[in-house]
A and B are shown apart, each in its own frame.
Chain A
Amino acid sequence: MPEDVNLATYNADALTEDLSDAVPATPAAGTAVPAEAPRVETQQDLTEEIKAIGDAYARALKDGAAPETQPRLDFAPYRSSLLRHPTKSLHHADPETIELYSPAFGHQDVHALESDLTIQHNGEPQGERIIVAGRVLDGDGRPVAGQLVEIWQANSSGRYIHKRDQHPAPLDPNFTGVGRCITGPDGSYRFTTIKPGAYPWKNHLNAWRPAHIHFSLFGQEFTQRIVTQMYFPGDQLFPLDPIYQSIVDQDARDRLVATYDHDLTEPEWALGYNWDIVLTGSKRTWTENEALGAEGDDHE
């Protein structure tokens, strides 16, 4: 896989700075220095901001508001979102034609070995080997069969291979951190990988992201498309993280946390984590074949 990485694209995109907004830039030489340097925002500032939003949500719930299930697009503690969230409500639309179908992926697209992130190089990667497995279901509880799952993550020391990640933790020559698979007839997926480390970012001073794996999923309809992040149980960074906390409802947040599953753990090999993913409900009337899960792999 590393040889498949398109270097032109890789080098062209994605500036890092989750940093730009929070940490004040040093004034260029010759410009007037403000009388008082802007205060650097601390974790405590952010934690208070997050708590105030959480308290307001708890009050709204008490007053009968419906529980929220998705992140807020407008969530100021994640500073990079300030200029990037729509200010108008999303416009309700009934999905039509093309939106009621999804691109088809199959074994032409994804090699079976791409689901093992620990065998992409000549040697064994550093860190704790894990298995992450679960099922992809739609909102009606039906398995999402024959669809694409993509993941990417930091290595065990919390470093992404991305060239703009400047965190001074070691890269691992035996770990890229990219995997793909096609779900089985029962919607199942399974990856073998390394437990990612937490990593620092520049949203505010001493900001750390809880360990996570990025997931990208397709359903049977394009309206079910989702990109999200899976977390590990018991992470002490959860209350401090503006991205995780952008989901203000505790039950909804919990849906991103995998469960340790000893039945998935393999003796003398790897610890197992289970995480099921639920997409939105179907808006199309399915054919009998689809309902029986016959669609999916390699159909032409």
Chain B
Amino acid sequence: MSNSTKLVPTPGQTVGPFYGYALPYNKDRELLAPGSPGSIRLQGTVYDGAGHTIPDAILEIWQPDTEGNIVHRTGSLVRDGYTFTGFGRSAVGNSGIYTFTTVNPGPTEPGAAAFISVAIFARGLMNRLFTRVYLPENEEALAKDPLLSSLDPERRKTLIARRDADGGLTWDIRLQGEGETVFLDFEGTGTGGAAK
């Protein structure tokens, strides 16, 4: 169905300070039950431009399963405890730390670098930001990833998680300043959030 009508997208606005009684829900950050076979913890801290932790940010992740399949299953808001839906949401705590229980995403195509898609919202952040977090292991795949290879080495490493001793992943987000996380514009207009 082709439709040539091009509509101008509605602007975004900040999530504000008071989403805490609205967006979080029971087991929002548990894509599967903590401790279940194959589960890992993905965690990190969100920082502002002064290096202070941000206590009022909320993150969403969207990812394929361990085999790299993109699942189309409902039930992210009311989890049945068995169905992996690929979606999770985690508000940070007072110390700026978010946590998800999930699985290592598989590559969605043979040889591709595996990553999790991330959206970030915060009080003081005018519009949501998109980014990605890559698994650190497959260096060959990382080296030929189109996004990573378009970045200089210092910026590239902001998108690659650290593997913890317990098998989990740690990945911090810096909204501004030294080590600023790479945020993505999918629109090609520079106004995926209009930096300026």
Contact = CB atoms under 8 A, between A and B. Distances in A.
Interface of A: 4-6, 9-10, 12-18, 68-75, 78, 80-99, 101-106, 108-110, 137-142, 148, 150-152, 154, 160-162, 164-165, 176-178, 180, 214, 216, 222-223, 225-229, 243-244, 246-247, 251-253, 255-256, 277-281, 283, 286, 291-292, 298-300
A243 B13 CA distance: 7
Interface stretch (B37-45, B56-64, B135-143, B160-168): B56-64
A84 B180 CA distance: 11
Given A83-B52, A164-B17, A255-B10, 10 more contacts: A9-B20, A9-B24, A71-B193, A90-B192, A96-B112, A98-B62, A98-B115, A139-B6, A164-B18, A255-B11
Question: Which of A13, A142, A161 gathers the greatest number of chain B CB atoms within 10 Å?
Answer: A13
A108 B76 CA distance: 9
A152 B18 contact: yes
A102 B73 CA distance: 10
Contacts of B126: 71-73, 75, 78, 81, 85, 243, 246
Contacts of B56: 13-15
Contact of B7 (A94, A95, A96, A137): A137
B5 A141 contact: yes
Contacts of A255: 8, 10-11
B104 to A, nearest CB: 14
B119 A225 contact: yes
Contacts of B111: none
Contacts of A152: 18-19, 21-23
Given A18-B123, A68-B191, A176-B21, A94 B146 contact: yes
Contact of A298 (B12, B25, B28, B74): B74
A109 B3 contact: no
Contacts of B188: 92
A78 B127 contact: no
Contact of B191 (A6, A70, A137): A70
Interface range, B side = 35 or more
Interface in B154-196: 155, 175-177, 180-188, 190-196
B9 A69 contact: yes
Interface in B79-133: 85-87, 91-94, 105, 108-109, 112, 115-117, 119, 121-130
Nearest to A253: B11
A253 B99 CA distance: 35
Interface of B: 1, 3-26, 28, 48-50, 52, 54-56, 58, 60, 62-64, 70, 72-78, 85-87, 91-94, 105, 108-109, 112, 115-117, 119, 121-130, 146-147, 150-151, 155, 175-177, 180-188, 190-196
A6 B77 CA distance: 13
Contacts of A228: 10-13
Contacts of A286: 1
Contact of B3 (A108, A142, A247): A142
A206 B128 CA distance: 28
Contacts of B180: 86-88
